[in-house]
């Protein structure tokens, strides 16, 4: 489908069962592959990104048995300190999946094999130099096959040594995630304690907390000092937890919660709640600051529009919700006042330059948008009169398509290339349609 026309929606209400989290799914798949034993993964996300991880692991010789669409069993390669995949030479295409490319680069750099890692054209524009520099500090042999600092990469066998690693924290949290997941492979004896030091600001810290939490479920416990120094006491190895459940995707929840806050509601999402591992679950707190009515349970969150009046603008540091903050940029069209979203420089190295793309598309609806190096300042059109029938470009970015579907709560619009949502949420528009209760006109 080249485009999707959405009519203006009058109200929304309903319950949405969330797909599994992409961030959790791909981390668990890789950890299960590295662990000793068989892991039964339940509620695995079915998407382009998880397909890239599954394809890569199977190409490396990992045995994966599909039980049904959302459940599989992974036979780990042993959790041994000397890592060797069954296939020691492979050419892996990883699409535009950062949650695959960055962690897999770190693991394969220590795996004593010959691997070529490539991706979609946009992946070859996304920086990876800081991760490569960090891996070279322990002796990894990695060569750029194109532009310096960017994929594609060639990895060769190398003499890996235990050494302190320093990595920048202000470009992508996926660099640190990859290094953390590789730490048990750097500590061959209990007497050795590999350490990672982060320089600069650590962005997207909740994703690092997620990584450490999932590593703990596979028996490896990382210590840290002030989120600057990360240590792994020697001798720890990954071991299967037996069965593990992927919680619902908190980033995907943001679209439905925002719909409830803007379009009367209530809208309830099931699959996340109290105790969620994901940082984006705090998106609900941002909606509360804007005046939305939020209620929570152990495995659900519900959002409804303010009881009186409309949503109000906020000024928010979004370092803790980098993906869900995109949804706030669209919600700002429906809020009174000027909304400022700060600390979002990481948007520029995602599936597209999201800062530039979001500013460009918001202006099509009459908003005044100031784009800074790490912030957006959004002023809705006078009296909230959004421009109708605008055509939204999505830049092959799933989150652009899902975010701008929310504009239909005010005016009709067209979304180009709606199929890009297959990256993380293939049936998003079908799920969105289930909460529609009335149409304008």
Q: How far apart are CA 253 and CA 271, in angstroms?
A: 9
One domain, residues 409 and 300: yes
| DSSP run (H or E) holding 254 | helix 250-262
Calculated CA dihedral for residues 432, 430, 435, 4, nearest 10 degrees:
60
Structure tokens given for 365: 């609806």
Beta pairing, strands 165-168 & 223-225? unpaired
Q: How far apart are CA 439 and CA 432, in angstroms?
A: 13
One domain, residues 123 and 219: yes
The confidence score (pLDDT) of residue 198 equals 97
Residue whose structure tokens are 């002030």: 226
**Domain end marker among 229, 244, 260:** 229
Residues 6+ apart with CB under 8 A from 256: 16, 267, 269, 303, 431, 432, 435
One domain, residues 165 and 287: no
Q: How far apart are CA 240 and CA 285, in angstroms?
A: 34
Task: Find out whether 7 and 439 touch, Cβ atoms under 8 Å.
Answer: yes
The confidence score (pLDDT) of residue 23 equals 95
One domain, residues 216 and 154: yes
Q: Would you call the peptide bond into 111 cis, given omega within 30 degrees of 0 as the criterion?
A: no
End-to-end CA distance of the chain: 26
The confidence score (pLDDT) of residue 190 equals 65
Domain count, the chain: 2
Tell me whether residue 263 is in a domain: no
One domain, residues 218 and 309: no
The confidence score (pLDDT) of residue 188 equals 65
Tell me whether residue 253 is in a domain: no
One domain, residues 51 and 124: yes
Tell me whether residue 346 is in a domain: yes
The confidence score (pLDDT) of residue 79 equals 54
Calculated CA dihedral for residues 157, 158, 161, 165, nearest 10 degrees:
-90
Tell me whether residue 247 is in a domain: no
Tell me whether residue 199 is in a domain: yes
Which parts of 290-412 are beta strand (E)? 293-296, 300-304, 315-317, 339-342, 368-371, 375-379, 390-392
One domain, residues 132 and 205: yes
One domain, residues 198 and 301: no
Where in the sequence is the domain holding 208, given as residue range(s)?
Answer: 22-229
Tell me whether residue 404 is in a domain: yes
Task: Find out whether 233 and 264 touch, Cβ atoms under 8 Å.
Answer: no
Q: What count of other Cβ atoms lies within 10 Å of the Cβ of residue 260?
A: 27
Q: What count of other Cβ atoms lies within 10 Å of the Cβ of residue 336?
A: 14
One domain, residues 214 and 288: no
One domain, residues 26 and 10: no
| Residue 17: C-alpha distances to residues 338, 409, 431, 436 (Å) | 33, 21, 9, 15
One domain, residues 342 and 422: yes
Q: What count of other Cβ atoms lies within 10 Å of the Cβ of residue 153?
A: 23
Residue tagged active-site, from 130, 249, 280, 323: 323
- Which backbone phi and psi does 268 adopt, to 5 degrees? -110, 135
pLDDT tens across the length of the chain (441 residues): 799 999 999 999 999 999 999 999 999 999 999 999 999 999 999 999 999 999 999 999 999 999 999 999 999 998 555 678 999 999 999 999 999 999 999 999 999 999 999 999 999 999 999 999 999 999 999 999 999 999 999 999 999 988 889 999 999 999 999 999 999 988 766 677 889 999 998 989 999 999 999 999 999 999 999 999 999 987 899 999 999 999 999 999 999 999 999 999 999 999 999 889 999 999 999 999 999 999 999 999 999 999 988 999 999 999 999 899 999 999 999 999 999 999 999 999 888 999 999 999 999 999 999 999 999 999 999 988 999 999 999 999 999 999 999 999 999 999 999 999 999 999 999 999 999 987 775
The confidence score (pLDDT) of residue 83 equals 79
Task: Find out whether 330 and 404 touch, Cβ atoms under 8 Å.
Answer: yes
323 is catalytic: yes
Q: How far apart are CA 286 and CA 328, in angstroms?
A: 8
Residue 185 belongs to domain with CATH number = 3.65.10.10
CA neighbours closer than 13 Å in the CB half-sphere of residue 410: 23
What are the DSSP calls for 268-313, one per residue?
EEES--TT-S-GGGGHHHHHHHTT-EEEE-SSEEEEE--SSS--B-
One domain, residues 398 and 305: yes
Tell me whether residue 344 is in a domain: yes
Q: How far apart are CA 327 and CA 318, in angstroms?
A: 11
| Residue 297: C-alpha distances to residues 273, 274, 300, 374 (Å) | 6, 6, 5, 34
């Amino acid at each position: 489908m080249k485009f999707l026309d959405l009519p203006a929606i009058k109200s929304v209400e309903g319950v949405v069962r969330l797909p599994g989290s992409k961030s959790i799914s791909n981390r668990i798949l890789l950890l299960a592959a590295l662990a000793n034993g068989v892991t039964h993964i339940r509620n695995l996300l079915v998407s382009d990104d998880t397909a890239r991880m599954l394809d890569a692991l199977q190409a490396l010789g990992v045995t994966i048995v599909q039980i049904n669409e959302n459940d599989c069993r992974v036979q780990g390669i042993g959790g041994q300190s000397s890592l060797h995949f069954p296939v020691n030479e492979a050419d892996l295409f990883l699409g535009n999946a950062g949650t695959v490319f960055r962690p897999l680069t770190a693991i394969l750099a220590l795996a004593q094999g010959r691997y070529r890692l490539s991706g979609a054209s946009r992946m070859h524009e996304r920086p990876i130099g800081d991760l490569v520099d960090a891996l070279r500090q322990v002796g990894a042999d990695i060569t750029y096959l194109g532009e310096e600092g960017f994929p594609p990469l060639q990895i060769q066998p190398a003499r890996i040594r235990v050494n302190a690693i320093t990595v920048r924290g202000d470009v992508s949290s996926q660099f640190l995630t990859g290094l953390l997941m590789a730490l048990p492979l750097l500590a061959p004896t209990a007497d050795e304690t590999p350490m990672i030091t982060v320089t600069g600001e650590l962005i997207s810290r909740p994703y690092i907390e997620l990584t450490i939490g999932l590593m703990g479920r596979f028996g490896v416990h990382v210590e840290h000092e002030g989120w600057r120094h990360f240590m792994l006491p020697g001798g720890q190895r990954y071991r299967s937890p037996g069965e593990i459940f992927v919680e619902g995707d908190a980033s995907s929840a943001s679209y439905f919660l925002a719909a409830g806050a803007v379009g009367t509601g209530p809208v309830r999402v099931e699959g996340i709640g109290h105790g969620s591992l994901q940082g984006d679950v705090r998106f609900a707190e941002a909606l509360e600051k804007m005046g939305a009515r939020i209620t929570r349970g152990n495995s659900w969150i519900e959002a409804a529009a303010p009881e009186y009046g409309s949503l109000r603008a906020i000024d928010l540091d979004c370092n803790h919700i980098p993906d869900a903050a995109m949804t706030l940029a669209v919600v700002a069209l429906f809020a009174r006042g000027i909304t400022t979203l700060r600390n979002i420089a990481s948007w520029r190295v995602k599936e597209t330059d999201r800062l530039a793309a979001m500013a460009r598309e918001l202006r099509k609806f009459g908003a005044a948008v100031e784009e800074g190096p790490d912030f957006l300042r959004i002023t809705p059109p006078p009296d909230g009169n959004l421009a109708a029938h605008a055509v939204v470009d999505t830049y092959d970015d799933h989150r652009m398509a899902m975010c701008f579907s929310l504009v239909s709560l005010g005016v009709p619009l067209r979304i180009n290339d709606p199929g890009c949502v297959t990256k993380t949420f293939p049936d998003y528009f079908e799920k969105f349609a289930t909460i529609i209760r009335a149409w304008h006109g």
